[in-house]
Amino acid sequence: MIHIPVLQKEVLNYLQPKPNENFIDATIGEGGYTFAVLNKNKPKGRVLGIEIDENIYQEAKRKMAEFSDRLILVNDSYINLKEIVKRNKFEPVDGILFDLGMSSWHLEKSGRGFSFLRDEPLIMRYTCSQVQNKTGLNLKNLTAEAIVNQFPEEKLVKIFREYGEERFARRIAGKICEERKRKLIKTTFQLKSIVIRAIPKKIRYSRIRCLARIFQSLRIAVNNELDNLEKVLPQTIEILKPGGRLVVISFHSLEDRIVKNFLKDESKKGRFKILTKKPVIADLEEIKVNPRARSAKLRAAIKS
């Protein structure tokens, strides 16, 4: 069974897949968008699906075996988008989709410490394999455990403040540095306890939001998410054919700002025509069914 992802109706509206057209799902995940596109671009339209996590990649292959003649699946990072397209001779490209949200599988089943609701090792990696990206970063090395135990206090403050927009960044970083002198911080529950003790007692009622921001900031840092997004967006200009469409769904303000500024700059240069003056968000009906959709923002553009 293919799950229905957030804003699926809106994604199809902006991608406008037609028979025999080719699309890239740069973050295929559980395959919901790809499944919908493949049902629109038949009989000969294809989809190039990219998935960084080898577990999710294998599951997508199993789930979507019926489309094996029209679906090319690649276990890689979207930071290598241009190379992946070239390697698979995938052209022309009529549309590219990015869903920047974390999959429910990572939160619930990966065992890698993405959620503060489960006591797990502080890994927070999307992949366990050695994927090289254009920055030269070896994606196997860095973990959340390494960050909280080895990074200087000022660097922790910067991560929490910039990636988590956390107002108590300095207090939390200071408490982490104090605690790690006594004992290495290896699990999500250890970190959770430290964060809760670091924030002022009078606002501990909002500790869930604070924890979410800290875990989010560590995940972004571990996976180099914002830098990767900034590096991949310009690649779409070279890959899309004239009239090709770009759709990006983000889940927090930092990602949305990067997408917004990229489209704005490229629009001024005459390379893209923006289709969404404001980000498209989920309606109340969808949010009731899928609360995760509440923070989703969709932006779209067409290549000039």
The order of strands in the sheet holding 71-75 is: 71-75, 47-51, 23-25, 93-99, 240-250, 297-303, 272-274
Residue stretches of the chain with pLDDT short of 50:
1, 130-139
The 3-state DSSP class for residue 273 equals strand
> Mind listing the domains of the chain with CATH numbers?
8-103+226-303 (3.40.50.150), 140-223 (1.10.150.170)
Collect all residues with Cβ–Cβ distance below 8 Å to 231 and sequence separation of at least 6: 79, 134, 135
Which pLDDT score is estimated for 155?
97
pLDDT in tens, 90-146: 999 999 999 998 778 788 888 899 999 999 999 999 976 544 443 344 445 799 999
Which pLDDT score is estimated for 135?
37
Which pLDDT score is estimated for 132?
41
Q: Cis peptide before 43, with omega less than 30 degrees from 0?
A: yes
**What letter represents residue 294's amino acid?**
R
Q: How far apart are CA 92 and CA 102, in angstroms?
A: 29
Which pLDDT score is estimated for 205?
66
pTM: 0.91
Which pLDDT score is estimated for 34?
96
Which pLDDT score is estimated for 225?
94
